Structure 1
Amino acid sequence: MQVVAADSRGAGKAELSASAAAAEALRHIGELVTSPPVGVTSVEPVEDGWLIEVEVLEERRIPSSSDMLALYEVELDHDGELLAYRRRSRYARGRAGTGNGAG
């Protein structure tokens, strides 16, 4: 879903909602990396658009609790166009930092 906002000259410009930005990030990551995206872990508005984190299943293992996952950061402009992406971390499933000193 797109929201139209007026810029400083009064002309309308399309801006993505947070959920639409998340969907665009999943689409872009799906096209750029060979591993399947698992889901979006965060969406944050930034000055030039959106900053989205996407978790990707990089390596399936048996048991699945030892799968290797990665966290990608995706930058989109206000129209959903890809500005940049990067892999921020790689970790075994269930081993990511939880903010409580673990990981």
Structure 2
Amino acid sequence: MASVRSRGDGDRERGGRDVVEDDYQPITAAEAAREGLRQIAGLTGKDPLGATSIQPIDDGWLVEVEVVEDHRIPASTDLLGLYQVELDMIGSLLGYQRTRRYQRGKGD
């Protein structure tokens, strides 16, 4: 996926070229999953394990990402967190929240 960066003047830069809002293409579900992983890693500094679900919402994507919140020895006792990441149609972050925290290998 091409990176999208805000330039602060209403335009954004995508993959090294300047574009205006009308030039944006909606991202695919796979791209949204990758972007959700990238955003959570950047925001929390935690190691993402993977996207556990993705679903379209009215104006974008809702991605659930599982991360290692606390590495422990043995690894089977690691603390994991489940985060919801909300992205718009072009992959920009709208919001995120941790919805669950649990020990690896422990079911509901």
TM-score tier by shorter-chain length is 0.7 to 0.9
Q: Give distance in 1, aligned partners of 2:45 and 2:34.
A: 18
1:59 and 2:70 correspond: yes
Q: Give distance in 2, aligned partners of 1:12 and 1:70.
A: 36
Aligned to 1:14: 25
Displacement, 1:12?
Answer: 6.7
Q: Give distance in 1, aligned partners of 2:102 and 2:66.
A: 10
Cα RMSD of the aligned pairs, angstroms, is 1.6
Aligned to 2:91: 80
Q: Structure 2: give runs of 5+ residues left out of the alignment.
A: 3-21
- The code of the aligned residue for 1:33 comes to T
Aligned to 2:104: 93
TM-score using structure 1 length = 0.80
Q: Structure 1: give runs of 5+ residues left out of the alignment.
A: 3-10, 97-102
Cα deviation, 1:61-90, whole Å, max 9, x if unaligned, reads 111111100000000000000000000000
Q: Give distance in 2, aligned partners of 1:49 and 1:84.
A: 12
The list of structure 1 runs, each at least 4 consecutive aligned residues, that deviate by more than 2 angstroms after superposition, is: none
Among all aligned residue pairs of Structure 1 and Structure 2, give the percentage whose two residues are the same amino acid: 49
1:69 and 2:80 correspond: yes
